[in-house]
Amino acid sequence: MAELNEIKIFAPATVANVSCGFDVLGFCLDTVGDEMIVRMSPEKGVRITKIAGSDLPLETHKNVAGVSAMALLETLNPNCGFEIEIYKNIKPGSGIGSSAASAAGSVFAINELLGRPLNKTQLTAYAMKGEALASQCEHADNIAPCIFGGFTLVKGVKPLEILELPTPSHLFATIIHPQIEIKTSEARAILPKEIPLSNAIEQWANVGSLVHALHTSNYNLLSASLKDIIVEPYRKQLIPEFDTLKSKTLEAGALGVGISGSGPSIFALCNGETLADKVAETMYSVYQKSGIDFNIHISPINKQGIKVI
């Protein structure tokens, strides 16, 4: 059989934080993501040969996919190089894991081409090097669900430990992406360095009960746990119509609504596709009055994560 020297992959969008789980929880989307083609080349190193759909740098050291791939090659030191083509469907600064998809995509594809020497946790660690370029800090709550699929919890980063959580079967996500850009680094800079103990207690109780709700497919508990009293109060000011959109979509029957990652996208989790459609209509009717362009995505939770296509 001829050796595989080129691969095409789908790197899905993701929702990080999931309201209460800042920097630790995330889930994977199915209907939106980037595509990448990665091929082996005789010349060592990493070259980004094409980027379609976005105005991102081609220079390897300035591109998250290039940085994560270089970090991986430093360790593996294969006797070849790699060329990367990136077809971006996830807009940078959208809050649904654009940089994570690129950073994860290059390391996943190279690992496949080299016969899978690394496991998913190791790939997550290398992808974090690329993500750090975009957000100025290493966190894995977008990368982990992109690579593992489903819901993930980042138990720790030093050492890196990812827990895969179960996905209740009727869960759908509706996402609205207002076409404004929020830089993750800026959305992190406005957060307080310290928080009151009473807030921390409420938040970690919600993280624990959200994890329990996922394990038991308890949609009522899931709904009661999707609250963020620590980060959302600061970041929502960056997102026009956030409060109106949240209250209307909850009225329409969403289990919970929150900021996706560092925004501006807003996610709703819904019990069933019919409700996810209804929530999308509600989001549409609120946002069409805002004068801001937007996209809406409806997606089941993607249990597989990043894949070869």
Q: What residues are labeled active site?
A: 131, 184
One residue of 94, 98, 111, 142 binding ligand HSE per CB under 6 A: 142
Distances (CA, A) of 131 to 1, 38, 106, 137, 144: 36, 19, 12, 8, 12
- Alpha helices in 114-253, H assignment, sequence order: 120-135, 143-148, 184-189, 197-216, 219-225, 232-235, 242-251
User: Does residue number 184 form part of the binding site for ligand HSE (CB under 6 A)?
Assistant: yes
3-state SS assignment for residue 218: coil
Choice between 124 and 271, CB closer to ligand HSE: 124
Choice between 216 and 237, CB closer to ligand HSE: 237
User: Does residue number 19 form part of the binding site for ligand HSE (CB under 6 A)?
Assistant: no
User: Does residue number 261 form part of the binding site for ligand HSE (CB under 6 A)?
Assistant: yes
Choice between 113 and 257, CB closer to ligand HSE: 257
Choice between 17 and 152, CB closer to ligand HSE: 17
- Alpha helices in the chain, H assignment, sequence order: 64-76, 98-113, 120-135, 143-148, 184-189, 197-216, 219-225, 232-235, 242-251, 273-287
Interacting positions 65-94 with ligand HSE (CB under 6 A): none
Residue 290's nearest CA partner among 249, 240, 246, 251 is 240
The CA-to-CA distance between both ends of the chain, in Å, stands at: 19
Other CB atoms within a 10 A radius of the CB of residue 232 amount to: 21
Choice between 23 and 164, CB closer to ligand HSE: 23
One residue of 98, 111, 135, 302 binding ligand HSE per CB under 6 A: 135
Choice between 194 and 251, CB closer to ligand HSE: 194
Q: Six-digit token pair at 181?
A: 């850009």
Q: How far is the CB of 273 from ligand HSE (least distance, A)?
A: 26
**φ and ψ at residue 78, rounded to 5 degrees:** -70, 165
Residues counted in the chain:
309
One residue of 30, 34, 35, 141 binding ligand HSE per CB under 6 A: 141
Which H or E element spans position 16?
strand 6-16
Q: Whole-angstrom Cα distance, residue 14 to residue 304?
A: 12
Stretch that binds ligand HSE, among 17-25, 51-59, 62-70, 167-175 (CB under 6 A): 17-25
Stretch that binds ligand HSE, among 44-52, 70-78, 118-126, 180-188 (CB under 6 A): 180-188
Stretch that binds ligand HSE, among 14-22, 53-61, 147-155, 265-273 (CB under 6 A): 14-22
Q: Whole-angstrom Cα distance, residue 152 to residue 146?
A: 9
User: Does residue number 130 form part of the binding site for ligand HSE (CB under 6 A)?
Assistant: no
User: Does residue number 139 form part of the binding site for ligand HSE (CB under 6 A)?
Assistant: yes
Stretch that binds ligand HSE, among 103-111, 137-145, 236-244, 248-256 (CB under 6 A): 137-145
One residue of 188, 248, 303, 307 binding ligand HSE per CB under 6 A: 188
User: Does residue number 260 form part of the binding site for ligand HSE (CB under 6 A)?
Assistant: no
User: Does residue number 227 form part of the binding site for ligand HSE (CB under 6 A)?
Assistant: no
CA angle, 84 then 159 then 191, to 5°:
80
**φ and ψ at residue 64, rounded to 5 degrees:** -60, -35
Other CB atoms within a 10 A radius of the CB of residue 57 amount to: 12
Q: Which residues bind ligand HSE (CB under 6 A)?
A: 16-17, 22-23, 135, 139, 141-142, 184, 187-188, 261-262
